[in-house]
Chains A and B, each alone.
Chain A
Amino acid sequence: MFRLVMKTIASLVFLAALVLPRLSAAQSVSDIDGGKTLFGGLCVTCHGFEGTGGSGPPLNRPKLLRAPDDAALRVIISDGIPERGMPRVRRTTENELRQLVAYVRSLGKTAKSTVRGNAKNGLDVYGKLDCAGCHIVNGQGGTLGPALTDIGALRGPQYLRQAIAEPAAALPSGTLAVPGRGYSEYLPVRVVMKDGREIRGLRLNEDLFTIQLRDVSGKFQSIRKTEAELVRKEIGTSLMPSFSNRLSATELDDLVAYLSSLGGAR
């Protein structure tokens, strides 16, 4: 009996040695508070209040795809993920970095899901609206709009809700390698050539003298600006119609829940 007790105590001490230092190193309350303040200044614009996501991925989950451990999370905060549209907002000190990591990790432990709809019903809404006409999920669907296979891991529910109701206000930006550097993606452009021909399409790329579009039929269009009478970048518009009048509140919730479920999100 004594041996068993000792063995149990030894095991507990061993377990505590494994667990406790990790908790105290990464998750002190003052670190979490400090991290929350820093997060409010540096991260909230894209990752949302309490990390619920926005134009950037939700962080209120136990596992972060690109940051499986704290070391990876530190690298992402320090360097950004420029090819995925995340800048290094600013350099951080060791102390600031520890606080940010502590806060982001705390989000995965405490936060509740903010998605209130039913994802299964949302799949029906997705079908009813023929979203697949323009969007790919798991290899199936059209390609006029962005692929949605991982959209739940990439965007927060608030952003997805806005993208359905007011698509023009939620054009993605800085998420594609081309055109990159913060340019609005899927931006509608209207071109009138000097011979009167009119071309409408989404901007794929642009430089000082040329612009490359994909028109509604999927055809690539290359325009030399000096040969056009008008090149109008229709900032503030989207080819996607607003679905706010075609959905009940419940249907909208369900659709958001479905989209949020794509890519392994909650």
Chain B
Amino acid sequence: MKRFAIVLFIAVAGSSVFAQVSYQRLLNADKEPQNWLTFAGSYKSHRYSPLTMINRQNAAQLKVAWAYQMRAGVVETSPVVVDGVMYLTEPPSTVTALDVLSGRTLWTYTPNIPADVIVIGSPPVNRGVALLDDSVYFGTVHGHVMALDAKSGAVRWDVIVEDNKHGYYLTLAPLALDGKIIVGVSGAETGIRGFVDAYDAKNGKLLWRTYTIPAPGEPGAETWGKGDGWKTGGGSTWLTGSFDPDLNLLYWATGNPAPDWNAENRPGDNLYTDSVLALDPATGKMKWHFQFTPEDLHDWDANETLVLFDAPVNGRDRKLIAQANRNGFYYVLDRATGEFLTGVPYAKQTWADGLDAKGKPIRKKGIAPSNEGTLVFPNIQGASNWFAPSYSPQTKLFYQAAREMGTIYYRGEAVYKAGTAFTGGGGRAVNGDEASGAIRALDATTGKMKWEFPLLSPGWTSLLSTAGGLLFGGTDEGNFFVLDAESGKPLWDIQLGGQVRGFPISYAYNGKQYIAIAAGTTLFVFSV
């Protein structure tokens, strides 16, 4: 009897300990492919699953295992999965825990969002949560970051990141490091001053804040002219960054300068907007930066996913960071130093005659927004955007959905009033039959295209590659499909009846692999 009690105790204690998502588990996320522990699958942001139960041979037999209907709104969620529980977010800022076998709700939590919440610059979306130890962390559209108990959804802490009355709001999944929760903010279209914040995971205390726009006297301030433009200069930090534990560098990308289409009050390069920042995770101190689009006139935020991989360049092994930027160029940098290595277009662009040796764009004349409108490619939402690429260590390819579309860009007045649109213009997309899209497989080191799979329209699809040799993606028209990751050949597809804006992820339970994707307001889970 005593022996039985001990066994029972170990079993209970064991399962309880197992449910803790320690920092060590996050560091070694690729060692437990049955789970999907972070927003992008790992700190390297590969969105690659090492699972092989679904593969080229059986992909055509994919079937719906279950579906979950979410609250109304625009769904751009990337679920995480740990030990049989899926945590996903619903619009605008709800967190829900689901049983991964049945799709039934275990708990759900919705914060009180005021009716007059200010969300300017994107739909009121939420892209996911971070797990650390026994808590679930998420951001809200009214500008809070919150910690919930992973087992019950009970609130552990609730902190205001910055005042929503000034247009700050959160749409990103936080990034959990060792005892820290890192978040960024949305809101450049209201003239915020962007920053990256680190909070103590235990109690929500602010550990450090690094502004993306320097104040007068700080390095880079000279790129804003002599006026007050820096105070309302934008530089949002609205998508989850990546992390290299060996170099101990946190990589975070920044968004457009404000006002978006009228640079009158911000003469200069506008550092550190449209950049990638390498930060010391202990202090937030900037180790290096690289700016993709100096003095941006087209709202080409550089917040897109930062993919970390290692590869030889010119015969030397390098630690690399890559991004398919909204401005139409694919960039590869040395992630230890920020040195520019490669930059090539991966989509139609009409604004630059290429990049110089330092990676700075050689801007064409006549591309500025105007009163009568100026047609420029890429479009106002960019050749890429918040939706994620995938990198497969198996194929060494960087997969990206490219948007082939132009916009007629207009310049307008820019008048700052707290909490209102501060954009100085805008644009009209040249859409319909004149626009298109494609999934492009790029050699990750050179950016050279290996294959492409044309899409009917420029979509919002994130991608997932797997060790089963597969690449999952979707379309604006509701298709969800699987391609052969080597060749781009389609293997299976289904019409899901709603725009695919979710992020596909994979997990396994009881030895069976599943693929989850949100389309419209429904989460679908597939298996073979």
| B431: contacting residue among A41, A182, A235, CB under 8 A | A182
Answer yes or no: A162 CB below 8 A from chain B CBs: no
Bound-complex Cα distance A41 to B371 (A): 6
Q: Are A87 and B433 in contact (CB under 8 A)?
A: no
Known contacts A87-B428, A183-B432: does B412 contact A208 (CB below 8 Å)? no
Q: Which of B401-459 contact A (CB under 8 A)?
A: 410, 412-415, 421, 423, 425-429, 431-435, 455-457
B310: Cβ under 8 A from any A Cβ: no
Q: How far is the CA of A173 from the CA of B433 in the complex (A)?
A: 10
Query: Which residue of the partner chain, among A96, A174, A207, contacts B478 with CB atoms under 8 Å?
Result: A207
Query: Which of A92, A182, A235 is in CB contact (< 8 Å) with B412?
Result: A92
B433 touches A90 (CB 8 A): no
A183, B479: Cβ atoms closer than 8 Å: no
| Most chain A CB inside 10 Å of its own CB: which residue of B426, B432, B479, B481 | B432
Cross-chain contact of A37 among B371, B426, B455 (Cβ < 8 A): B371
CB of B421 to closest CB in A, whole Å: 5
Residues of A within 8 A of B475 (CB): 207-208
Contact pattern, A 40-56, Cβ under 8 Å of B = 1, otherwise 0:
11100000000000000
User: Interface size on A (CB < 8 Å)?
Assistant: 29
- CB contacts (< 8 Å) of B429 on chain A: these are 87, 182
On chain B, the residues within 8 Å of A94 by CB distance are: 415
Q: How far, in angstroms, from A209 to B490 measured CA to CA in the complex?
A: 10
Q: How far is the CB of A87 from chain B (nearest CB, A)?
A: 6
What is the chain B residue whose CB lies nearest that of A173? B432
Complex Cα spacing A89 to B426, Å: 7
Q: In whole Å, how far is B493's beta carbon from the nearest beta carbon of chain A?
A: 5
Interface residues of B in 365-408 (CB under 8 A from A): 370-373
Chain A residues 65-92 with CB under 8 Å of chain B are 87-92
- Complex CA–CA separation, A174 to B431 (angstroms): 10
Contact among A41, A183, A210 for B433, CB-based, below 8 A: A183
Residues of chain B within 8 A (CB-CB) of A235 are 433
A91–B421 contact, CB under 8 A? yes
Select from chain A the residue with minimum beta-carbon distance to B410. A90
B32 at the interface (CB under 8 A from A): no
The residue from B410, B431, B490, B493 contacting A181, defined by CB atoms under 8 A apart: B431
B410:A208 contact, CB within 8 angstroms: no
- Confirm or deny: B280 has a beta carbon within 8 angstroms of a beta carbon on chain A: no
Task: Let me know if B413 and A96 touch, CB within 8 A.
Answer: yes
In the docked arrangement, what's the CA distance between A59 and B427, Å?
A: 22
Quick one: given A87-B428, A90-B427, are A208 and B413 in contact (CB under 8 Å)?
Answer: no
Asked if A24 CB lies within 8 Å of chain B CBs, one says no
List of B residues within 8 angstroms of A206 by Cβ: 456, 477
> In the complex, how many angstroms separate the beta carbon of A85 from the nearest chain B beta carbon?
10
- List the A residue with the shortest CB-CB distance to B373: A41
Decide if A208 touches B433 in the complex (CB within 8 Å). Answer: no
In the complex, the answer to whether A41 meets B415 with C-beta atoms within 8 Å is no
Q: How far is the CA of A37 from the CA of B261 in the complex (A)?
A: 18
CB distance from A41 to the nearest CB of B (A): 5
A233 close to B (CB within 8 Å) = yes
Contacts of A96 in B (CB 8 A): 412-413
Q: Which residue of A lies closest to B425 (CB)?
A: A90
B495: CB under 8 A from chain A? Answer: yes
Complex alpha-carbon distance, A208 and B371, angstroms:
36
Query: Are the CB atoms of B415 and A95 closer together than 8 Å?
Result: yes
Cβ of A217 within 8 Å of any chain B Cβ, yes or no, is: no
Contacting residues of chain A (83-124) with chain B, CB-CB under 8 angstroms: 87-96
Knowing A87-B429, A181-B431 are in contact, say whether A42-B415 is a contact too (CB < 8 A): no
* Alpha-carbon distance A94/B416, docked complex (angstroms): 11
Other-chain contact of A90, B428, B476, B478 (Cβ < 8 Å): B428
The CA-CA distance from A237 to B137 in the complex, in Å, is: 55
Query: Does A184 make an interface contact (CB < 8 A)?
Result: yes
Complex CA distance for A115 and B189, rounded to whole angstroms:
43
Q: Which residue of A lies closest to B477 (CB)?
A: A207
User: Is A168 engaged at the interface, CB distance under 8 Å to the other chain?
Assistant: no
CB-nearest residue of chain B to A78: B421
Q: How far is the CA of A77 from the CA of B431 in the complex (A)?
A: 20
Bound form: Cα–Cα A95–B457 in Å: 36
Does A187 reach chain B (CB closer than 8 Å)? yes
Interface residues of B in 86-141 (CB under 8 A from A): none
For the complex, give the distance between the alpha carbons of A41 and B427 in Å.
11
Chain B neighbourhood of A37, CB < 8 A: 371
* A91-B423 contact in complex given A96-B412, A207-B477, C-beta closer than 8 Å: yes
Q: State A206–B428 Cα separation when bound (angstroms).
A: 23
A207 touches B495 (CB 8 A): yes
- Of A42, A89, A187, A208, chain B has the most CB atoms within 10 Å of the CB of A208
Q: Once bound together, how far apart are the Cα atoms of A209 and B477, in whole Å?
A: 10
B496 → chain A closest CB, angstroms: 10
18 A-B pairs with CB atoms under 8 Å apart are A41-B373, A42-B373, A88-B426, A89-B426, A90-B261, A90-B426, A91-B426, A94-B415, A95-B413, A174-B432, A181-B432, A182-B429, A182-B432, A206-B456, A206-B477, A208-B477, A209-B479, A210-B495
Beyond contacts A94-B415, A182-B431: 18 other A-B pairs, Cβ-Cβ < 8 A, are A40-B372, A41-B372, A87-B428, A88-B426, A89-B427, A90-B410, A90-B412, A90-B427, A91-B412, A96-B412, A181-B476, A182-B433, A183-B432, A207-B475, A207-B479, A208-B455, A209-B479, A233-B433
Q: Which 7 A-B pairs have CB atoms at the shortest separation, nearest pair first?
A: A90-B426, A182-B432, A207-B477, A182-B431, A183-B432, A208-B479, A91-B421
Q: CB within 8 Å of A: which residues of B? A: 189, 261, 370-373, 410, 412-415, 421, 423, 425-429, 431-435, 455-457, 475-479, 481, 490, 493, 495
